[in-house]
Amino acid sequence: MRFAWLALRNLARNRRRTATTLAVVAAGTLALVLTAGFVAYSFDGLAEAMIHGGLGHLEVAPAAAVEARGAAALDRPLEHALAGWEGLRERLEALPHVAAVGANLQVMGMAQGPQGASVSFVGVGAEPDRARRMGFEKKLRAGELLPETAPREGEEAALVALGLAGALGVAPGDIVTLLATDAGGSLNALDVRVAGLVTTGVQELDSRYLELHLAAAQRLVGAGLASNLLVGLDETEATGEALAAVRAAVAGEQPPLAVVPWTERALFYEQVRNLYRGIFWFLGTIVFLLVVLATSNTLAMTVMERMRELGTLRAIGTGRGQLAAMILAEALWLGLLGSLAGCLLGVAAIAGINRAGVKMPPPPGAVDPIDLRLAYVPEAFAGALLLMLAVLAVAALAPVARAVRLSIVDALGHV
Amino acid sequence: MTPSSAPLLRTEGVVRRYRSGASEVTALAGVDLEIAAGEIAVVAGPSGSGKSTLLHLLGALDAADAGRVLFEGADLGALAERQRTLLRRRRLGFVFQAFHLVPVLSALENVEYPLLLDGVGRAERRRRAAEMLDAVGLAARLGHRPDRLSGGERQRVAIARALVHRPAAVLADEPTGNLDSRTAGAVLDLLADLNRSLGTTFLIATHDAALIARTPRRIVLADGRIVADSGRAA
């Protein structure tokens, strides 16, 4: 600490070079906090999109169905469907943080349009009122959403994904015939009116997806059945706590039930997360190397230019450790001041980018453009600051070694 | 001040050689010398005669290839690096031809520096540095940085820095080399006053004829050997 003030004063010797070095450190810090902000916002956005796109926070499904296809599978075999689940739903909805519990019944089969086109579909029978309470979002592109009340027989309606609607050649108001086998293996047919056209946000799924009211799906494949119960929470952060509570609530149910958190079902989320983490560390490594190279050159110049002065300081009793501390302190000041400037720039840049409302092209496989938005990640700001201090300490190693090894006599005679 | 009889600085057959390209240069070729505490002496001689080399060895800045250098009876060649650093910090002072002040520090801060190294508290440092600057006639220049001082003033600051920790000896290498004759004379007066008032030993390497003429003991080097020593002759 004794030399910290002297090190700070030394930065004023060559103001232009100090300013350039600070700019390099600030730019490195800025790159890290912006990237971290983008990654964090993307993670949060993707997680919420998946949860509120129909995954829910938790899934309660027959353990046999989960074992049969794995926790990550989105479809649950009809032969393991739940029956008599209404009482369980009531108990689950009474738990803390649970916003609603919606029953889903998955159906698969063939859909036939009015012109005779037949396309295989995957559908889900859902409860629109529960879906609304769970915050599920439907991306309606034409027509209207399903009514919340169960349809009367002969008045069933469906939301058809854009790709499937295109293949069937249907628009809102048209009738589509759905063919599916029920739990007993018999083939059933159901005529449904196209209420609206939607997108799931995923091109591949859009080519096959449709949604019915739970009651309509039950008429097609089995009265009273549900493939699973989806649990929506009031906040995603409560997932862990709610998971434990729901598992406790379903313990002892027969047939046994499994509770699967959204993180285990959203394989795509984990893949994206791993990809972004890889990109972030790759970028971090590049920034680290660039800043080390740029600043080590500056610090080496600093030592070279002050050889006689360093020799004088050694001559009048400055120890090698004290000299090393002084040069290291100069480097750390550069790291501290530069990274603080980078953090301030980062705060301003994040605010500016978020306010600008910039749109980015849809990610691969997605349908809609996405907003370019960045999150403030306090850990990233602190981490970038600490990283820059470490970078400057590493950059100072060679100059420090040179300074402490110098011969006093040679240094005093240095020109 | 009258010098005491015990030698503060002593060399015994000191040899120092340097490599210069493929050849070897002998800077000091067997120097025997004693400097008593409280003495003021000049080391004179032409360029390359070994004046600066002798000061470097006496100041624990360099090591002899042969012979011994003793300070207060301790063999400098037997001291560890840290002990030599502490010796320079506490018992020696240095004045250089080019002043070698720290440019980003004020006159007061430059003089404080040796005390800072030794962990002296801020208030005590300030008081002692200000007193020393007052003693060298720079009480009105405490806050000035070196680039705002004249050559003579800078050398006075350097002298104050060399003396602020009350060393036993000050080694000055061409202290008037960068000064005009009038300023050089004033610096010499100052050194003589400080020698008398503080009892500090001064050993000054110089070719300044005026300085040589005014100093009671003159040691003359040529080709790395002492060819005349008024002190020894006396």
Give A298-322 as a DSSP string: HHHHHHHHTHHHHHHHHHTT--HHH
Q: B-chain residues within 8 Å CB-CB of A325? A: none
A68: in domain? no
Chain B interface includes A94 (CB < 8 A)? no
Does position A83 have pLDDT exceeding 90, yes or no?
Answer: no
The verdict on a CB contact (< 8 Å) between B161 and A308 is no
In this complex, which of A6, A312, A319 lies closest to B82 when CB atoms are compared? A319
User: Is A285 domain-assigned?
Assistant: yes
A24 and A84 part of one domain? no
Q: Do A219 and A326 fall into the same domain?
A: no
Confirm whether A67 is domain-assigned.
no
Of the residues A265, A285, A320, which one is the last residue of a structural domain? A265
To which residue do tokens 């090393």 refer? A324
Whether residues A286 and A250 share a domain: the answer is: no
Confidence category of residue A367, pLDDT binned at 50, 70, 90: low
A324 min Cα distance to partner chain B (Å): 13
List the one residue out of A107, A105, A110 whose CA is nearest residue A85: A105
A260 plus A273 within the same structural domain: no
With respect to residue A166, please indicate whether it lies within any of the assigned structural domains: yes
pLDDT of A119 reads 94
Tell me the C-alpha distance between B132 and B138, whole Å: 9
The answer to whether the Cβ–Cβ distance between A322 and B119 falls below 8 Å is no
Report the candidate in A280, A332, A351 with the shortest Cα–Cα distance to residue A31: A280
pLDDT tens for each residue of A134-147:
988 888 999 999 99
Number of structural domains, chain A?
Answer: 2
Instruction: Choose one of A230, A265, A300: the last residue of a domain.
Output: A265
Residues of chain B with Cβ-Cβ distance to A2 below 8 Å are 116, 119
Which amino acid would we find at residue A280?
F
Closest-CA residue of chain B to A11: B104
CB A335 within 8 A of CB A392: yes
- Verify that A163 and A43 share a domain, yes or no: no
Least confidently predicted of A98-112, A245-259, A267-281: A267-281
Chain A, residues 290-319, CB within 8 A of chain B, namely 308-309, 312-319
Look at residue B1 and tell me whether its pLDDT is greater than 70: no
Query: Residue B83 CA to chain centroid, in angstroms?
Result: 19
Q: Do A317 and B102 touch (CB under 8 A)?
A: no
Enumerate the residues of chain B whose CB falls inside 8 A of the CB of residue A6: 102, 104-105
pLDDT for B233 = 40
Cross-chain CB nearest to A317 (options B102, B105, B114): B114
> Cα-Cα-Cα-Cα dihedral of A12, A15, A17, A19, to 10°?
100
Which chain B residues have a beta carbon less than 8 Å from that of A7? none
- Considering only alpha carbons, which residue of chain B is nearest residue A408? B61
pLDDT above 70: percentage of residues in chain B: 96
DSSP string, A225-247: EESEEEEEES-GGGHHHHHHHHH
For residue A92, the one-letter residue type is: L
pLDDT band at B234 (very low <50, low <70, confident <90, very high): very low
A233 and A257 within one domain: yes
Please give the residue that has the higher pLDDT: either A203 or B51. B51
User: Within this chain, do residues A204 and A218 fall inside the same structural domain, yes or no?
Assistant: yes
Domain that holds residue A369: 4-50+269-412
Is residue A255 reached through a cis peptide bond, with omega within 30 degrees of 0 on the bond before it?
yes
State whether A408 and A325 are in the same domain: yes
Tokens of B36: 């008593």
**Nearest residue to B220 (alpha-carbon basis) of B96, B36, B51:** B51
- Determine, yes or no, domain membership for A61: no
CA distance A199 to A161: 5
User: SS3 string of B165-234?
Assistant: CCCCEEEEECCCCCCCHHHHHHHHHHHHHHHHHHCCEEEEECCCHHHHHHCCEEEEEECCEEEEEHHHHC
Using an 8 Å CB-CB cutoff, list chain A residues near B89.
316-318
Largest Cα–Cα distance in chain B?
53
Residues A250 and A296 in one domain: no
Mean model confidence pLDDT for chain A? 89
Helix (H) or strand (E) holding B110: helix B107-117
Cα–Cα dist A75/A123, whole Å? 10
Residues A205 and A278 in one domain: no
Long-range contacts of B77-84 (CB under 8 A, 24+ apart): B81/A320, B82/A319, B84/B60
Among A125-129, A399-403, B182-186, the range scoring the smallest mean pLDDT is B182-186
Judge: domain B7-233, CATH 1.10.10.10: no
Asked which of A233, A265, A297 is the last residue of a domain, the reply is: A265
Contacts with A315 from chain B: Cβ below 8 Å: 59, 61, 88, 94
Domain identity same for A187 and A329:
no
Closest Cα in chain A, distance from residue B122 (Å)? 11
At A162-194, the pLDDT tens digits run 999 999 999 999 999 999 988 778 889 999 999
Q: Using CA atoms, how far apart are residues B171 and B194, in angstroms rounded to an integer? A: 13
Dihedral (CA of B128, B134, B138, B141) sign: positive
CA distance A359 to A357: 6
Q: pLDDT at position B4, please?
A: 54
Looking at CA atoms only, how far is residue A412 from chain B in angstroms? 9
B88, B98, B104: residue with CB nearest A316: B88
The strand ranges marked E within A97-233 are 98-112, 118-126, 139-143, 157-161, 175-181, 187-199, 209-213, 225-226, 228-233
- Residue B102 at interface with chain A, using a CB cutoff of 8 Å: yes
What are A256-288's pLDDT values in tens digits? Answer: 999 999 988 887 788 888 888 888 888 888 888
The answer to whether residues A253 and A291 belong to one domain is: no
How many CB pairs below 8 A link A and B? 62
Site of tokens 């390359």: B48
Assigned token pair, A287: 């920034």
Q: How far apart are CA A214 and CA A103, in angstroms?
A: 7
